[in-house]
Amino acid sequence: MTDTLFPSPSPGSASNGRGDDWRIDRDRARAGGASAIAADALEIVDETASTNTDLMARMKALPRERAAFGVHAVRAAYRQTAGRGRQGRSWQTKPGHALTFSLACVLPRPLAGLAGLSLATGVAVVDALARLAPGEAARFALKWPNDVLLDGRKLAGILIETAWSTANASAVVIGVGINVRRDEALEAELEAASSPLPAQARATPPAALSQALPDANLTDTLAVVVKALTEMIERFGPQGFAAFVDRWNAYHAFANREVVLIDKGEELARGIATGVDGSGQLLLLSDTGMQAIATGDVSLRLAGDTP
């Protein structure tokens, strides 16, 4: 599929910084924080299959021994025909309602040193959204391993993919999807689809940033999140997730509450979620003692939300 690149809106066009502007104003995004990356590194396309797939192909083509550390590209799309999240789930949205983008970077860490990167990304996203809506900061939280919540409902998802890794570096693509404006028709469709399912198989219902920030728009959201992610990458490179573990635990939605881990619809483990350790593993206190659960294809639910 051929991508259509959108130029920056001209003065006097519909992109004037108001909350009803659904397109991304490149100049305003850069002024608002996306200037942390090179001007030509910010790409905004009308439609593509998947921004993660696009950037994965690009990063795989890099000469590994000469690849520069840091951010290489940020690619946002108004519509992704094959957007996806964890466990192969599709990401559904209408243009202008959600911010969907990917960030490609090279970190000075081998593959084993990337543990906790998705959790650090979650911290960066919550930090950014709290800057946008400081009076509502307490409403944002993190659900292990990589969901961002607003009032207990899913606001954003994160997908990390590794293009390649050497003994000294790794090329990574970080995909982020944030519901910026409510899509009540889609919410009703998702609710109807999930209602026949058993409780443990249902996805967390969605939330939108506009519920905390009425004039939320894609431009300002992209600006602050890209800035926060750039800062996170600069810190994660030398320090790893250990630099973010305290912040993650402070944002932990289910801290010291009983939770259930679900694997393919079946209960895998149950206990008190006490937090995460320095590698991003969930610390679960059960009758058999403390367990460290590595991230994987499991879902986390409050015990009261399952039979």
For position 271, which CATH number holds?
Answer: 2.30.30.100
Same domain, 127 and 238: yes
Please tell me the predicted confidence (pLDDT) of residue 303.
86
Written as six digits, the tokens of 232 are 């996170």
Domain end point (choices 217, 233, 251): 251
Q: Which residues pair with 157 in a beta bridge?
A: 147, 177
User: Does 301 lie in the same domain as 222?
Assistant: no
pLDDT at 21: 63
State the 10-residue block means of pLDDT for the chain, 307 residues long. 34 38 90 92 95 98 94 96 60 77 98 97 98 97 95 96 97 97 68 54 82 96 97 98 98 96 86 96 94 82 76
pLDDT given for residue 192 in this prediction: 55
Q: Domain for residue 134, yes or no?
A: yes
Structural domain ending residue among the three candidates 231, 251, 271: 251
Q: Is residue 136 part of a domain?
A: yes
CA proximity to 158, closest of 150, 148, 171:
148
Same domain assignment for residues 32 and 180: yes
Q: What is the pLDDT of residue 15?
A: 37
Residue 205 lies in a domain: yes
Q: How many domains does the chain have?
A: 2
The answer to whether residues 140 and 275 belong to one domain is: no
Classify residue 13: in a domain, yes or no.
no
| pLDDT value of residue 206 | 92
Statement to judge: residues 287 and 144 lie in one domain: no
Is there a domain that residue 20 lies in? no
Give the pLDDT confidence score for residue 185 in this predicted structure: 63
Q: Token digits for 280?
A: 């991003």
189 in the same domain as 79: yes
pLDDT at 13: 35
Query: 171 and 289 in one domain?
Result: no
Give pLDDT tens digits for 174-215. 999 999 998 766 665 655 555 545 555 556 889 999 999 999
* Residues 198, 301 within the same domain: no
Predicted pLDDT of residue 82: 84
Which domain covers residue 276, as residue numbers? 257-305
Question: 208, 231, 251 — which closes off a domain?
Answer: 251
pTM: 0.87
- Residue 16 within any structural domain of the chain: no
Domain with residue 59: its CATH number is 3.30.930.10
- 265 with 233, same domain: the answer is no
Distance CA 75, CA 53 (A): 11
Are 69 and 120 found together in one domain? Answer: yes
Residue 206 lies in a domain: yes
The answer as to whether 48 is a domain residue is yes
| Digit-coded pLDDT (tens) for 22-68 | 899 999 999 999 998 999 999 999 999 999 999 999 999 999 988 99
* Same domain flag for 55 and 91: yes
Residue 245 sits in the same domain as residue 280: no
